Amino acid sequence: MSKDWEPSILGICCNWCAYAGADMAGVSRMQYPPNVEIIRVMCSGRIDPAFILRAFRLGADGVLVAGCHEADCHYVSGNQSARRRVEALADVLDTVGLGRDRLRLRWISANEGALFAEGIRDFVETLKKLGPSPIEAPKLAKGVTTRTQGGDVFAGGRSTRNLSRGELHEGGGSPLRESELASESDPSVNQVDFQALVAETGVLNCLECGKCTASCPVARRDETFSPRRTIEKALEGLAEDIETDRLLWSCLTCRTCEQRCPSGVSYSEFVRGARAEAKRLGQQGRTSHSGANHDLMRLQAAPKLKPNRMAAYEGLKVKEKAGKDDWLYFAGCAPYYQALYSELPVQVGNIPRDSVALLNRAGIVPVVMAAERCCGHDLLWNGDVEDFAALARVSAEAIKATGARKIVTSCPECYRTLAVDFKEHAGLDLEVKHISEVLAADAGALGLSGTGEVVTVQDACRLGRQMGVYDPPRELLAAAGAQVAEMAHTRGDALCCGVSAWVSCGQCSKSMQVARLKEAAATGASTLVTPCLKCSIHLTCASSGELPVPRQEVDVKIMDLTAYLARAAGLTVAAEEPEPAMAAASDKGDA
Contact 377, 417 (CB under 8 A): yes
For position 32, what pLDDT does the model report?
95
Q: What does the alpha-carbon distance between residue 495 and residue 487 come to, in Å, rounded to a whole number?
A: 10
Share of the chain above pLDDT 70, in %: 87
For the chain, what are the domain ranges? 9-180, 194-280, 291-568
Q: Do domains 9-180 and 194-280 have the same CATH topology?
A: no
pLDDT less than 50: residues of the chain = 144-176, 185-187, 573-591
Counting beta carbons within 10 angstroms of the beta carbon of residue 524, is it exposed (0 to 12), middle (13 to 18) or buried (19 or more)?
exposed
**CATH code at 194-280:** 1.10.1060.10
What one-character DSSP code corresponds to residue 420? I
CA distances 84 to 61, 165, 206, Å, are 22, 19, 52
- pLDDT tens-digit series, residues 64-92: 999 999 989 999 999 999 999 999 999 99
What one-character DSSP code corresponds to residue 358? H
For position 178, what pLDDT does the model report?
55
Query: Which element (helix H / strand E) includes 456?
Result: strand 454-457
- pLDDT tens-digit series, residues 288-306: 888 999 999 999 999 999 9
**CA angle centred on 582, ends 332 and 131, rounded to 5°:** 70
- Residue 555 sits at φ, ψ, to 5 deg, of -80, 90
Angle (deg, nearest 10), helices 533-544 and 507-522:
90
Q: Count CA atoms within 13 Å of residue 449 on its CB side.
A: 6
User: What global pTM score does this model have?
Assistant: 0.88
Counting beta carbons within 10 angstroms of the beta carbon of residue 589, is it exposed (0 to 12), middle (13 to 18) or buried (19 or more)?
middle
Q: What does the alpha-carbon distance between residue 220 and residue 515 come to, in Å, rounded to a whole number?
A: 12
For position 146, what pLDDT does the model report?
44
Q: What does the alpha-carbon distance between residue 515 and residue 495 come to, in Å, rounded to a whole number?
A: 8
Contact 458, 533 (CB under 8 A): no
Q: What does the alpha-carbon distance between residue 87 and residue 104 come to, in Å, rounded to a whole number?
A: 9
Classify domain 9-180 at the CATH class level: alpha beta
For position 250, what pLDDT does the model report?
94
Query: Which element (helix H / strand E) includes 457?
Result: strand 454-457
